[in-house]
Amino acid sequence: MLLLANDGYWPAHLPAAGMITVEAEPVGGQMWARIEWAELDAALADGRLPGSPEELAVLRVAVSLADGRPVDLADVVVALDRRRLGLVLAAFAHAAGSHDHCAPAGQGVDPDLRLGPLIAWPARH
């Protein structure tokens, strides 16, 4: 998931907690990684997924977007620093498909013109 990858904290911690399954596609053999969202609550409860309030807020948003779990946005946004707020906003825009949006028809603009993401992923440092 792009939010977790761009945040940078979780790519090392999820595999260490046993939250990532890597498998090959049946056709072509391309490798894929899957986050085991069903194991999240147990991993948090037993301390396998430690994190700061900011890191855990990003994880809660990611699991909501990926697995449909409810998240209280009021709790999340107050925990985010500016960098992670940018990541979460970019994740919302990406989930809404803003990176695939085209110009509205009938406004004198080519309707096949791609508009780009509403909020782009911030540059990685």
Give residue limits of the domains in the chain: 2-100
Give the pLDDT score at 27. Answer: 84
Give the pLDDT score at 69. Answer: 94
Give the pLDDT score at 107. Answer: 67
Q: Is-above-0.85 flag for pTM?
A: no
CA angle 66-70-75, nearest 5°? 110
Give the pLDDT score at 40. Answer: 92
Helices 53-67 & 82-95, crossing angle to 10 degrees? 0
pLDDT tens-place values along the chain, 125 residues long: 899 999 999 999 999 999 998 888 888 888 888 899 999 999 999 999 999 999 999 999 999 999 999 999 999 999 999 999 999 999 999 888 877 777 777 667 776 777 777 788 887 65
Residue of 6, 31, 30, 7 whose CA lies nearest to 21: 31
Q: Which residues contact 105 (CB under 8 A, 6 or more apart)?
A: 111
